[in-house]
Amino acid sequence: MTKQDKRHDILRAALELFAEQGFHGAPMALIAERAGVGAGTIYRYFENRDILIRDLFNELEEDILPFIMDGYSDKAPFRARFIHLGSRLLRYFIQNPLHFRYLEQFHNSPFGVAHRRDKILGNEGKNTVFKELFEQGAEQQVLKDLPLPMLIALAFGPLLAVARDHILGFFHLDEDLVLKTIEACWDTVKR
């Protein structure tokens, strides 16, 4: 087993436990056990618990981006691009429910709030595809005349709510409902 395998095992165990039990219910010893390593071993790969949590988030983010960008063309009409990104994202969540549950936990924590504050207010170089899309939409007056961060909240709100309830089993999203969900998101923000 290589070094990267072990790191991956730890991240996987952490993902599962955090997603299933929440941050509370996943002590380091349990993560170690599920990963099949000694408790101290985790600290060779992650400086401490907080950094494990943040690194896991970064891994997931990096996993999502290529998935949603697959087949994406910036030449396509605005609405088509919106639908593409939204439906890819929703499908990613449906295919990776643990990832979704983890990301929800992360966002609903001091880490997550700080992260979103940086992202929304700041100007990072990375992962700006959504931001750019919404900026264009505002410019071209195809979106409602509202502050950019509000447009983003309005568009993602229904998508995330539907993803969560699907994963919790409150209803089942088939391919048709995925599309209808994204169209509803479009209705939320389109002018």
Partner DNA sequence: GATGAATGAGCGTTCATTCAT
Partner DNA sequence: CATGAATGAACGCTCATTCAT
Using DSSP, how many helices (H) and how many strands (E) does the chain show?
10, 0
Distance CA(69)–CA(78), nearest Å, equals 15
As given in the structure block, the two tokens for residue 112 are: 């997550």
Quick check: 41 binds DNA (CB under 7 A)?
Answer: yes
Quick check: 37 binds DNA (CB under 7 A)?
Answer: yes
As given in the structure block, the two tokens for residue 16 are: 């599962």
Judged by beta carbon, residue 80 or residue 184, the one nearer its own copies is: 184
Q: Greatest CA separation found in the chain?
A: 56
Q: Is 126 exposed, middle or buried (0-12, 13-18, 19+ CB in 10 A)?
A: exposed
Min dist CB 59 to its own copies, Å, is: 21
Residue 129 contact among DNA, its own copies, none, beta carbon within 5 to 8 Å by kind? none
Task: List interacting residues with its own copies (CB under 8 A).
Answer: 22-25, 104-105, 108-110, 113, 116-117, 120-121, 144, 146-147, 149-150, 153-162, 164-165, 168, 170-171, 177, 180-181, 184-185, 187-190
As given in the structure block, the two tokens for residue 110 are: 């001091």
Amino acid identity, position 129 = V
Strands annotated E in 36-122: none
Quick check: 39 binds DNA (CB under 7 A)?
Answer: yes
Judged by beta carbon, residue 22 or residue 97, the one nearer DNA is: 22
Min dist CB 33 to DNA, Å, is: 8
Min dist CB 175 to DNA, Å, is: 40
Three-state SS at 190: strand
Min dist CB 112 to DNA, Å, is: 18
Residue located via tokens 């950094």: 51
Quick check: 97 binds DNA (CB under 7 A)?
Answer: no
Give the residue, chosen from 8, 12, 34, 49, that forms a contact with DNA under the rule CB under 7 A. Answer: 49
Residue 150 contact among its own copies, DNA, none, beta carbon within 5 to 8 Å by kind? its own copies
| Residues facing 143 on adjacent strands | 190
